[in-house]
Amino acid sequence: MLSLVLWRIRVTLNDNRQLVGQMLAFDRHMNLVLADCEEFRRIKQKKKANTEDDSAPSQELKRSLGLVILRGEMIVSLSVEGPPPQVDDDKKTAGLLPGPGRGGPAGRGMGMLPPIGAMPPGMGRGVPFAPPPGMPGLPGAPPPGFRPPGAPMGFPPGMPPPPPGLTSSSLSILSGQQADLTMLQLPIQLPSGPNETPLVTVSKTHEHVWVIELHNGVDNRITEDMCVRALGPALILVESQWRDNHWRKAYEDKTDGEKKIASGALIIIANRKQQKFFSNGFDFPKLLKKPHFIPNSYDPILKHLLGFPIPVIAAINGHAFAAGFMLALACDYRIMKSQKAWLSMNEILFGGPIPRSFSTLFNAKCTDAMVVRKVFLEAHRFTAQEALQVKLVDELVEGDSDAVFAAAVKLALGVSHLSRLGVYGLIKKEVYNRTLQGISENETVRIVHPPEEDEEFQRKVKSRL
């Protein structure tokens, strides 16, 4: 959405009106501010008397609204109408001669400048210009929010820019731990504030194998805090340490032909002290109160995993339902315990429509239409043996969580060499290019619930009667 600011967009509302205007701002609830807004709506003309034709032509009406603040709950879809307007500063000032006036900074808390005759040295006409330190827009001082020349970057040393969708709040969780992520001692729990409950633990079980262990309650629900304050920062931490401590050293060492130091793999597993749940998905009642949690907080996790630069193994040591199932599916490999573990998308059983990111991801990982039907339209609970048969998982393991973890470590060591030349994540992004685009589209496509669909159907039917 940020890339659409100042663009002209067309917004379709739930009453079939369309608004076209320049988007100035938006928020997490998809409330929009549109400038130079125009409204388009169709009305059905009255049927002329003494005519046998029941169909009456419709007429499109247009009116100018100007500046509009639009509630997100009314929005059905967005589309781009045109780029931001071009502003030619040279044309605006062409033919204008300098006048006797003067310019000065203005803003809250800033006093007026004294008359020219009373200006202090360095500020008068004909005197060498010396702006006060820190005054925005003047030489020698950066604009507000920008770094002074030579100042260090805003991200901690060795930390790459965040993947698309991961917010600065995710980064602040890590930067508060230690300035240099490459030197951060593992294991570490996130979030780790004084009054916060840790939701994940990041550790290393081998020189080249990282582990993210999820432990959010008894059934490991995927919440906003889990995504933004725990799992998202944990993925950034692992990628940063692999890049700085492994891959970059191997790349810069021209004498190392095998690049073994750049090996790497990641295991995602649920709390190993329990045997029941990998993840029970979203907390649906809370999800209804935060309709933009999925595109703003959860989808960035899927996108990061689909382009992660080292192999990622999901060690499914319990049931994986709904969003937990999708989290495992976004990984490169899936190892599942053979007993008392199910995979299921059960939204159809409790009336929860699925977001576009779910269908896009699943269609990239499974091309069997009958499996798609059983997963989404029948809410079938796949046992471990059934999941292996339809290739939703790669391997089954007899035993408890420790046995699943041991098998995942063995697989991680076997595939960790794939990341040595640094192209593993780049190739994944090309392979899943359409999938990543589809997940990004979920940011502008609003989930429609049954009452809204019924209302839309009634509106369409009545318009034809």
Could you report the per-residue pLDDT of 398-410, keeping only the tens digit for each?
Answer: 999 999 999 999 9
Note the pLDDT of residue 289: 78
Please state, in angstroms and rounded to a whole number, the distance separating the CA atoms of residues 232 and 228.
6
Note the pLDDT of residue 252: 87
CA-based radius of gyration for the chain? 28
In this model, does residue 378 exceed pLDDT 90? yes
CA neighbor of 422 nearest in space, from 300, 266, 239, 267: 239
In this model, does residue 146 exceed pLDDT 50? no
In this model, does residue 17 exceed pLDDT 80? yes
Helix (H, G, I), strand (E, B) or coil at 360: helix
In this model, does residue 425 exceed pLDDT 50? yes
The residue-averaged pLDDT of 104-123 equals 46
In this model, does residue 351 exceed pLDDT 50? yes
Tokens of 351: 């009336």
Most confident of 6-15, 18-27, 147-156, 409-418: 409-418
Note the pLDDT of residue 89: 52
User: Residues in the chain, how many?
Assistant: 465
Note the pLDDT of residue 180: 54
Q: Per the confidence metrics, is the pTM higher than 0.75?
A: no
CA neighbor of 411 nearest in space, from 325, 326, 311: 311
Please state, in angstroms and rounded to a whole number, the distance separating the CA atoms of residues 265 and 361.
21
Higher pLDDT, 344 or 450: 344
In terms of DSSP H, where are the helices of 253-351? 284-289, 293, 299-306, 323-329, 347-350
Residue 379: Cβ-neighbour burial (10 angstroms; 0-12, 13-18, 19+): middle
Mark residue 95 as left, alpha or beta (left: phi above 0; alpha: psi -120 to 50; beta: remaining). left
Is-contact 307 269, C-beta < 8 A? no
Which pLDDT band, with edges at 50, 70 and 90, does 53 fall under?
low
Please state, in angstroms and rounded to a whole number, the distance separating the CA atoms of residues 366 and 143.
50
What pLDDT digit, counting tens, does each position of 36-52 carry? 999 988 877 666 666 55
What pLDDT digit, counting tens, does each position of 436-453 carry? 999 988 666 667 777 877
Count each helix (H run) and each strand (E run) in the chain, helices first.
17, 15
What pLDDT digit, counting tens, does each position of 70-90 carry? 888 888 888 888 888 766 554
| Residues β-bridged to residue 82 | 8
Which pLDDT band, with edges at 50, 70 and 90, does 137 fall under?
very low
> Residues of the chain with pLDDT > 90: what percent?
43
Cis check for the bond before 187: say yes or no (omega within 30 of 0): yes
